[in-house]
Amino acid sequence: AIPLVSQISTALGAKNGILVKNRLALEEARTIDVVLFDKTGTLTTGSQGVAAVAVADGRTEEEVLALAASVEASSEHPIARAIVAEAAERGVPVAKATGFAALAGRGAQATVDGREVLVVSQRVITERGLVLPVSFVQSARDLAGSGATIVYVLSGDEVLGMIGLADTVRPESLEAVRDLTARGVRVAMLTGDSHEVATWVARQLGIEEVFAQVLPGEKADVVRRLQQSGRVAMVGDGINDAPALAQADVGIAIGAGTDVAIESAGIVLASSDPRGVASMLALSKATWRKEV
Ligand code: ADP
Ligand code: MG
């Protein structure tokens, strides 16, 4: 039988937007040493908008956006949605792409009008040893310095353009980090995004431990590494986060997240408010403080 005390706390949690899928997860929560947050969509709203487009000589913004949107039409990623929305907003005609492939943690590619078009992160530029137009370097630095994520649009090995995407730090995130720190819990952040963007967000929130440019397959490894020094709660929203949520001692999905993340988590924060993590720890401690 389910002990009455945890039935009550489960109901209490639900009232506060904390959905307990696995009762053990709520009980374990009181022993957590580290909370590892995913950045995009968890500490930030994840609803990115196109902030800037830069193009190589002889290219137009419309051409670059149209190619990028053709590729991204088949992707579910927030970056893809923002690019498709921007193309639609500008009334740019978007061709139908074939052979779409997601490059996990790196970008996406497809064939558009017989050309291989890619929309990718800086990592891919570095891995392929591609050279950026000189004019991009300063724009990229400025965008990254304001916390914007940058993706590059390629036709084969040729860099056609650069798209900067602005994301917003959730107004509740700062308090969420402070509440946890005040409880003596270590706070860390994990992201597939670049070191520049990760550092910018972490600085806004006073987070000192940052893992950036982590590929989807490596997120669970970061959890494992942190588990060597304590018990870890992982908070995330994305498909990419599912293995890390499952690996953590307590997996917490935020409500606006994907079904896969929610499935892998023991606890779901219905409101997408990261302050719910501290409330949940408090609820856990209050429930199991005394042996009942
Ligand atoms: P996270 O969810 O931690 O921000 P992801 O693993 O989803 O990271 O993505 C990491 C990086 O890979 C993104 O910041 C972006 O540069 C690139 N990326 C992933 N998917 C896409 C996509 N569909 N289009 C463009 N870039 C992408
Ligand atoms: Mg994510």
Task: Please report where in the chains the tokens 């402070």 appear, as a residue.
Answer: 178
Burial class (CB in 10 A: 0-12, 13-18, 19+), 227: middle
For 125-161, what is each residue's pLDDT tens digit? 999 999 898 888 888 888 887 889 999 999 999 999 9
Report the distance separating Cα 257 and Cα 90, nearest Å.
Answer: 29
CATH topology of domain 49-166: Calcium-transporting ATPase, cytoplasmic domain N (3.40.1110)
Is residue 52 within a helix (H) or strand (E), and if so which, with residue range? strand 49-55
What pLDDT was estimated at residue 9? 63
Kindly identify the ligand whose nearest atom is closest to the C-alpha of 167.
1
83: left (phi over 0), alpha (psi -120 to 50) or beta: alpha
Backbone angles phi, psi at 47, to 5 degrees: -90, 90
- For the full predicted model, state whether its pTM sits above 0.90: no
User: Which mutation among 70, 106, 124, 235 tests ligand 1's pocket best, with the greatest number of atoms within 8 A of CB?
Assistant: 106
Residue nearest to atom 24 of ligand 1 (CA): 107
For 70-105, what is each residue's pLDDT tens digit? 999 999 888 999 999 999 999 999 999 999 999 988
Report the distance separating Cα 106 and Cα 213, nearest Å.
Answer: 9
C-alpha 232 to ligand 2 mean position (Å): 18
C-alpha 118 to ligand 2 mean position (Å): 20
Please tell me which residue, 1 or 22, carries the higher pLDDT value: 22
DSSP state for residue 110 in the 8-state scheme: E
Ligand 1 near 167 CB (within 6 A): no
What pLDDT was estimated at residue 256? 66
Ligand 1 near 54 CB (within 6 A): no
What pLDDT was estimated at residue 178? 97
For 200-249, what is each residue's pLDDT tens digit? 999 999 999 999 999 988 999 999 999 999 999 999 987 788 899 999 99
Ligand 1 near 216 CB (within 6 A): yes
C-alpha 219 to ligand 2 mean position (Å): 10
Query: Which range is most confident: 61-75, 243-257, 263-277?
Result: 61-75
User: Which mutation among 39, 40, 167 tests ligand 1's pocket best, with the greatest number of atoms within 8 A of CB?
Assistant: 40
Rounded (10°) CA dihedral 75, 78, 80, 84: 110
Edge-to-edge strands of the sheet including 250-254? Answer: 18-20, 267-269, 250-254, 232-236, 34-38, 186-190, 209-211
C-alpha closest to that of 283 among 8, 1, 21:
8
What pLDDT was estimated at residue 266? 87
For 162-180, what is each residue's pLDDT tens digit? 999 998 999 999 999 999 9
Task: List the structure tokens of 220.
Answer: 């669970």
Ligand 1 near 193 CB (within 6 A): yes
Ligand 1 near 173 CB (within 6 A): no
C-alpha 32 to ligand 1 mean position (Å): 29
For 18-58, what is each residue's pLDDT tens digit? 888 888 888 888 899 999 999 988 999 887 799 999 999 99
Kindly identify the ligand whose nearest atom is closest to the C-alpha of 260.
2
Kindly identify the ligand whose nearest atom is closest to the C-alpha of 189.
1
Ligand 1 near 236 CB (within 6 A): no
Ligand 1 near 219 CB (within 6 A): no
C-alpha 60 to ligand 2 mean position (Å): 30
What pLDDT was estimated at residue 7? 62
Cα-based angle 49, 55, 61 (whole degrees, multiple of 5): 60
What pLDDT was estimated at residue 12? 64
Note if 38 is an active site residue.
Answer: yes
Instruction: Using alpha carbons, list the distances in angstroms from residue 237 to 97, 101, 134, 195, 285.
Output: 28, 22, 36, 20, 25
Domain 13-45+169-288 has CATH 3.40.50.1000: yes
Burial class (CB in 10 A: 0-12, 13-18, 19+), 291: exposed
- CA 6 to the chain's CA centroid: 32
Report the distance separating Cα 120 and Cα 124, nearest Å.
Answer: 6
What pLDDT was estimated at residue 292? 47
- Among 38, 167, 193, 249, the active-site one is 38
Handedness of CA 76, 82, 86, 88 (dihedral sign): positive
ipTM of the complex: 0.96
Ligand 1 near 107 CB (within 6 A): yes
- Domain boundaries defined on the chain: 13-45+169-288, 49-166
